[in-house]
Amino acid sequence: GAVVSQHPSRVICKSGTSVKIECRSLDFQATTMFWYRQFPKQSLMLMATSNEGSKATYEQGVEKDKFLINHASLTLSTLTVTSAHPEDSSFYICSARDNRGANTQYFGPGTRLTVL
């Protein structure tokens, strides 16, 4: 149980295009999901907290107009990187907190974004 999927696993795009990444909780409902960036050989940096039915909460320094988050259902959150640039290339990871309690996040496998 407690499986989180992400799609796509890899994406390569041209500078200036937008990319959407999906995060799904497969066997549980998640009112709250989280989006992270992980740079090579570094820890995870929380970008934003995604709340079902309400606006996402962004961490300091994260541009909300660049990283659009939509959490339209209890099992799906999407992150759209708008007008992507090479500096947005990174590994994006989502996690989901199970609504059944147990204050635990379950992580997706990540999405490798490369912007040319």
Partner 1 sequence: AQSVSQHNHHVILSEAASLELGCNYSYGGTVNLFWYVQYPGQHLQLLLKYFSGDPLVKGIKGFEAEFIKSKFSFNLRKPSVQWSDTAEYFCAATATSGTYKYIFGTGTRLKVLA
Residues of this chain that interact with partner 1 (CB under 8 A) are: 32, 34, 41-44, 46, 49, 57, 93, 95, 97, 102-110
CB 49, min distance to partner 1, A: 6
**100-113 per-residue burial string, b: 16 or more CB within 10 A, e: under 16:** eeeeebbbbebbeb
Kind and range of the H or E run holding 40? none
Cβ closer to partner 1: 40 or 86? 40
Pick the closer one to partner 1 by CB: 16 or 109: 109
Closest approach of partner 1 to the CB of residue 17, in Å: 26
Q: How far is the CB of 9 from partner 1 (least distance, A)?
A: 10
Residue 66: phi and psi, rounded to 5, are: -90, -35
For 30, 58, 60, 98, 110, the CA distances from 63, given in Å and listed in that order, are: 24, 8, 8, 27, 20
Q: From CA 18, how far away is CA 43, in angstroms rounded? A: 25
Smallest separation, CB 63 to partner 1 (Å): 18
Residue number with CB closer to partner 1 (14 or 102): 102
